[in-house]
Amino acid sequence: MDSSQFRDAAHTAIEDIVKYYDTIQDRPVLPSVSPGYLKPLLPSSPPQEGESWPAIQADLEKHIMPGLTHWQSPKYMAFFPCNSSFPGMLGEMYSSAFNAAAFNWICSPAVTELETIVMDWVAKLLGLPDVYLSDGEGGGIIQGTASEVIVTAVVAARERILRRRLKDMEEGEEKWDKMAEMRGKLVAMGSEHAHSSTHKAAIIAGTRFRNVPAPRDTGFRVTGQALRTAIKECRDKGLEPFFFTATIGSTATCAVDDLEAIAEVAKENPDVWIHVDAAYAGSALICPEYQHLCSSLASFDSFNFNLHKWLLVNFDCSAFFIKKRRDLIDTFSITPSYLRNEFSDRGLVTDYRDWQIPLGRRFRSLKVWFVLRTYGVEGLRRFIRNHITLGEYFHGLLLTRKDLFTVITGPAFALTTFTINPARPRRISSSAANRPDPMHEAYTNDFTTDAEAQYQVEVNRVTKEVYEKVNSQGEFWITATMVGGVYLIRVVSATERAEERWLKRLFEVLVGVSEEVLGLGKEGEK
Amino acid sequence: MDSSQFRDAAHTAIEDIVKYYDTIQDRPVLPSVSPGYLKPLLPSSPPQEGESWPAIQADLEKHIMPGLTHWQSPKYMAFFPCNSSFPGMLGEMYSSAFNAAAFNWICSPAVTELETIVMDWVAKLLGLPDVYLSDGEGGGIIQGTASEVIVTAVVAARERILRRRLKDMEEGEEKWDKMAEMRGKLVAMGSEHAHSSTHKAAIIAGTRFRNVPAPRDTGFRVTGQALRTAIKECRDKGLEPFFFTATIGSTATCAVDDLEAIAEVAKENPDVWIHVDAAYAGSALICPEYQHLCSSLASFDSFNFNLHKWLLVNFDCSAFFIKKRRDLIDTFSITPSYLRNEFSDRGLVTDYRDWQIPLGRRFRSLKVWFVLRTYGVEGLRRFIRNHITLGEYFHGLLLTRKDLFTVITGPAFALTTFTINPARPRRISSSAANRPDPMHEAYTNDFTTDAEAQYQVEVNRVTKEVYEKVNSQGEFWITATMVGGVYLIRVVSATERAEERWLKRLFEVLVGVSEEVLGLGKEGEK
């Protein structure tokens, strides 16, 4: 394919992409293919001779499109969003053209330098404390995903506590044995509602993991006291807590841990690395009305959010901010220390490879630069606030049918969670039959324990049934999860094309399906 | 930016890219910017209001282009190539449009299924043993980089040996303590010329690392005996070797470890995970004349090469083939085991997130599909063989000036390494003055040890000086490295636009600079 053929092919690709985005709302968000659909449609080996672009493009339309899930559709309201944008795509285009394995400065100086600059832009945009800016001892780096970031942080934290505790020991067998023994006692911690990536990171780092309770009566938030207790319980068993993931916007309900209280715990436990996972909700910090959440961040060691979730930068783009970059370099650099110090003392170049697991790096800062400049600060704030308003709108709709829906959490960062109210119970115990009217926004604890549990089983059953029926219709995609024994439906509408009308339509679908599942006619209970 | 503005912007971007590739040979391969060049050129915060595409595009040309290193230039002959291609770029375009965090099958079935299919295509293209195909117990996955792959393999190997050794112990504190103790004894191994990523992976996994010697008299290859000895020495110290990276095409010289003999060692040591790193040279296996290297691979646990190096797929795209996918899933899956077995038993879907460190995944198989179909098997073979021929051509040029150059290794996979011959020595010892004529292709060992060492110091000095002068001229970019006490220059011309004329020109530059450094006139020694 020469450059003239490329020009033609690229123009047809652009048309495909424009058409895809202009009509995305008309497609069912979930594909209807079955597992293994693609294998029979494609040859079992690559072609012997090259094929023309039109043949390839035709197969893309014919075989790949039917197997895509449309995350950019306004009818996508599952998990969290993974927003693309046109300037983000332009960034990827140039990045793939300027192709390089930019593992150090000289490998492509612009790749390193633009990354430092735009990460400083992002830190300022979010109102992060100055300690996370590159002109001090910290800075930001773009990694692929929040889960990759957490592995990086856990491994750095593991080695930091060993370095601190064993700094007076001479290098050698005895020290290594001691390090191995200590590693075996280390415990990484995260909220019971933290993303599973902290647990996975502990597996990769070879350390223990324990949950910190965040029950419903604290709003699914980890409190300072809960963390303090968890730390104490570890120590009482002779174990060494060394890492905690605090969450801004938990996966299930967008709960925010009690950061101010956790900052106090951090001060009491300077060897426990506190990482803040704000993968989705972190983008909201660009709005001043959310920046009060940043006040405690200077007390922590690292902060992460995904621009590829809610800030319009195409996947992948996870921003990892570190208070002391030396905490990463001391672990991940395999350059002899005298060289490292020379670089560091001269302060001339950043070797991001020493801040991360992989060696090579893509030119990801381009798309960030394009997105921030195309939207501008105010444009991005309008984008976020629109979703916040939509979340409130949907929450309001749920409240109009308290007979059917019970809101469990939210709207928080555009996410509302709720359950379906069972039809007036017939088969459960008499005390449960006396339960308060379901027109309460949240459960009260008036039931006897048994009756409550029995009622919850019924709530979970109907909620799951409604959830599955809505998704099986294929028009919308929502997700459900189990939190503290409650099976709840999550709705978050935060794609670029999100609009009130799609939430209204989803609400109608939810009402219709719920009435069907509960055996209610349009006129009320049968 | 609406879709019509995107269409216009994308067309201008395509023109930029076409122009960039059509004129890339006219640019100096290395930029002339100094560290920190970009910061004064850009604002210190993002703009408050959005900007237009022409403004952004103008800054790209003005501020970013001068800071790029041009890895696609035919004058780039450093490290290893990192080749892009037009079909690869088209793949990235669609991938960024179909943007999704495709962490499991339902998140976008085509993303998972196309990856399985094209990884099978790639395995067949390389002539890998059938154990690496997806229809048995193995399969391929696309990860970002070879270094990420090695961390994945090391962690899986670490947990596999623990599972095997402690399978009869009950879960609990005692088992965990035993696991911690064992982890502290584990040793990952790699050739002294293996890529540093194995060492880094051991740091991340919290295990020990040791080099296996691969001296010059074995051609810088690890022999079976060397590995056997290393394993024995570890065990004699009470340590437990659990991982070895065998290399096809070492970074410095493209040496290939003695795979057949290592396969024997693998059989004797079934708990040592053998990973084959063929990051660069693996692409040559698409040519039948190299596929004899594949015969031993069935004896190993995993195999990896980067399609983003020498197979025209834009960075990043590292193909990781695993003989028993369960070895990955048993470590990286955090889904409860009963769920895992159900999926696995039904054999319906692949959850690649359980084969890797991150959760989310890009749609990278698209670009592989586009490249394999656009070039076809024969087109790709022509591409590789062209570079092999160019390597032989350059090697032949060096041989025409044995007075100036001594070939150390190669041409191997298009890479030749060589040193500069010092001017007839005046200041070194009399025995060294009697050294054989430098018109030998490789050093002989005729010198007394002292004189040899003294001579080598002089070789290293002039080679380094020539190397630095060539790069400082900016026309070409080559790399140098130190191997077994020898400072050598590496030349590998394997970009898409590589041609004989650039190698001829580089050779002329090398001759000129060498004569200048050695103080030789055009007529011979001064």
Taking only residues 59 to 98 of chain A, the set having a beta carbon closer than 8 angstroms to any beta carbon of chain B reads 60, 63-69, 71-72, 79, 82-90, 92-98
Q: At CA B37, angle to CA B13 and CA A135, rounded to 5?
A: 110
Chain B: residue nearest A183 by CA? Answer: B180
Q: Would the pLDDT of A124 be above 70? A: yes
Q: What average pLDDT score do residues A519-523 get?
A: 72
Of residues A321, A248, A315, the one with CA closest to residue A281: A248
Q: Is residue B286 within a helix (H) or strand (E), and if so which, with residue range?
A: none
Rounded Cα gap, residues B157 and B163, in angstroms: 10
State the pLDDT at residue A194: 84
Rounded Cα gap, residues A377 and A375, in angstroms: 7
State the pLDDT at residue A513: 98
Rounded Cα gap, residues A312 and B5, in angstroms: 17
Give residue A353's Cα distance to chain centre.
23
Axis crossing angle, helix B173-183 with helix A173-183, rounded to the nearest 10: 150
Of residues A506, A126, A505, the one with CA closest to residue A321: A126
SS3 B318: strand
* Interacting residues of A430 by C-beta distance below 8 A, sequence separation 6+: none
Shortest distance between the Cα of A501 and any Cα of chain B, in A, equals 20
For residues B300 and B74, is the Cβ–Cβ distance under 8 A?
no
Axis crossing angle, helix A449-473 with helix A500-518, rounded to the nearest 10: 120
Q: Would the pLDDT of B451 be above 70? A: yes
Q: Is there a cis peptide before residue A316, judged by omega within 30 degrees of 0? A: yes
Q: Would the pLDDT of B302 be above 90? A: yes
- Whole-Å CA distances, A192 to A198, A212, A246, B172: 10, 6, 11, 21
Q: Which of A166, A186, A373 to mutate to test the interface with B (most CBs of B within 10 A)?
A: A373
A343 touches chain B (CB under 8 A): no
Shortest distance between the Cα of B483 and any Cα of chain A, in A, equals 16
Q: Would the pLDDT of A432 be above 60? A: no
For residues A374 and B53, is the Cβ–Cβ distance under 8 A?
yes
Chain B neighbors of A360, CB-CB under 8 A: 82, 144-145, 147, 308, 315-316
Chain A neighbors of B85, CB-CB under 8 A: 1
For residues B497 and B73, is the Cβ–Cβ distance under 8 A?
yes
A32 touches chain B (CB under 8 A): no
Chain A neighbors of B1, CB-CB under 8 A: 85-87, 374
Tell me which residue in A47, A185, A358 faces B144 most closely, judged by beta carbons: A358
Of residues A310, A359, A320, the one with CA closest to residue A150: A320
Q: Is residue A422 within a helix (H) or strand (E), and if so which, with residue range?
A: none
When the pLDDT of each residue in chain A is averaged and rounded to a whole number, the result is 92
B171 touches chain A (CB under 8 A): no
A39 touches chain B (CB under 8 A): yes
Give residue A257's Cα distance to chain centre.
15
State the pLDDT at residue B343: 39
Interface contact flag, A50 B375, Cβ < 8 Å = yes
For residues B389 and B373, is the Cβ–Cβ distance under 8 A?
no
> Which pLDDT tens digit goes with each residue over A69-123?
999 999 999 999 999 999 999 999 999 999 999 888 889 999 999 999 999 999 9
SS3 A505: helix
Q: Would the pLDDT of B489 be above 80? A: yes
Q: E strands within B459-519?
A: 479-483, 486-492
Rounded Cα gap, residues B218 and B25, in angstroms: 38
Confidence of residue A448 (pLDDT cuts 50, 70, 90): low
> Which pLDDT tens digit goes with each residue over A190-227?
999 888 999 999 999 999 999 999 999 999 999 999 99
> Which pLDDT tens digit goes with each residue over B175-198?
988 998 899 999 999 999 888 999
> Which pLDDT tens digit goes with each residue over A276-296?
999 999 999 999 999 999 999
> Which pLDDT tens digit goes with each residue over B367-425?
999 999 999 999 999 999 999 999 999 999 999 999 999 999 999 999 999 999 998 65
| Surface-to-core class of residue A174, CB atoms within 10 Å of its CB (0-12 exposed, 13-18 middle, 19+ buried) | exposed
Beta strands B302-306 and B273-277 are parallel
- Whole-Å CA distances, A342 to A135, A138, A345, B252: 18, 18, 5, 25
State what percent of residues in chain B have pLDDT above 90: 84
Tokens (6 digits) for B293? 């290297």
Rg over alpha carbons for chain B, rounded to the nearest Å, is: 26
* CB neighbourhood size of B378 (10 A): 13
Tell me which residue in A185, A200, A362 faces B315 most closely, judged by beta carbons: A362
State what percent of residues in chain B have pLDDT above 70: 91
Taking only residues 474 to 503 of chain A, the set having a beta carbon closer than 8 angstroms to any beta carbon of chain B reads none
A396 touches chain B (CB under 8 A): no
A362 touches chain B (CB under 8 A): yes
Chain A neighbors of B145, CB-CB under 8 A: 101, 358-360
| Eight-class DSSP state of B393 | H
Q: Would the pLDDT of B510 be above 50? A: yes
Q: At CA B519, angle to CA B514 and CA B520, rounded to 5?
A: 75
Confidence of residue A340 (pLDDT cuts 50, 70, 90): very low
Give residue B425's Cα distance to chain centre.
38
SS3 B472: helix
State the pLDDT at residue A523: 52
| Full set of structural domains in chain B with CATH | 3-68 (1.20.1340.10), 99-362 (3.40.640.10), 372-525 (3.90.1150.170)
What's the number of CA atoms in the CB half-sphere (13 Å) around residue B355?
26
Shortest distance between the Cα of A274 and any Cα of chain B, in A, equals 19
Residue A440's beta-bridge partner residues?
A: none
Rounded Cα gap, residues A354 and A348, in angstroms: 15
Q: In what order do the strands lie in the sheet with B415-420?
A: B405-412, B415-420, B486-492, B479-483
Per-position DSSP letters for A368-408, written without gaps between them: HHHHHHHHHHHHHHHHHHHHHHHHHHHHHHHHTTTTTEEEE
- How much is the pTM? 0.94
Residue with tokens 């001594």: B406
Shortest distance between the Cα of B481 and any Cα of chain A, in A, equals 14
| Surface-to-core class of residue A200, CB atoms within 10 Å of its CB (0-12 exposed, 13-18 middle, 19+ buried) | buried
Tokens (6 digits) for A358? 């992989």
> Which pLDDT tens digit goes with each residue over B253-272?
999 999 999 999 999 999 99
Of residues A99, A120, A119, A96, the one with CA closest to residue A108: A99
Per-position DSSP letters for B103-155, written without gaps between them: -SGGG-HHHHHHHHHHHHHHHHHHT--GGGSTTTT-EEEEES-HHHHHHHHHH
Interface contact flag, A47 B377, Cβ < 8 Å = yes
Counting every residue, how long is chain B? 526
| Eight-class DSSP state of B476 | -
In this structure, of A505-509, B73-77, B101-105, the range with the lowest mean pLDDT score is B101-105
Interface contact flag, B71 A159, Cβ < 8 Å = no
Taking only residues 174 to 233 of chain B, the set having a beta carbon closer than 8 angstroms to any beta carbon of chain A reads 176-177, 179-181, 183-185, 196-197, 199-200, 203-206, 208
State what percent of residues in chain A have pLDDT above 90: 84
Q: What is the 3-state secondary structure of A464-496?
A: HHHHHHHHHHCCCECEEEEECCEEEEEEECCCC
Q: Which of A62, A113, A177, A329 to mutate to test the interface with B (most CBs of B within 10 A)?
A: A113
Interface contact flag, B334 A14, Cβ < 8 Å = no
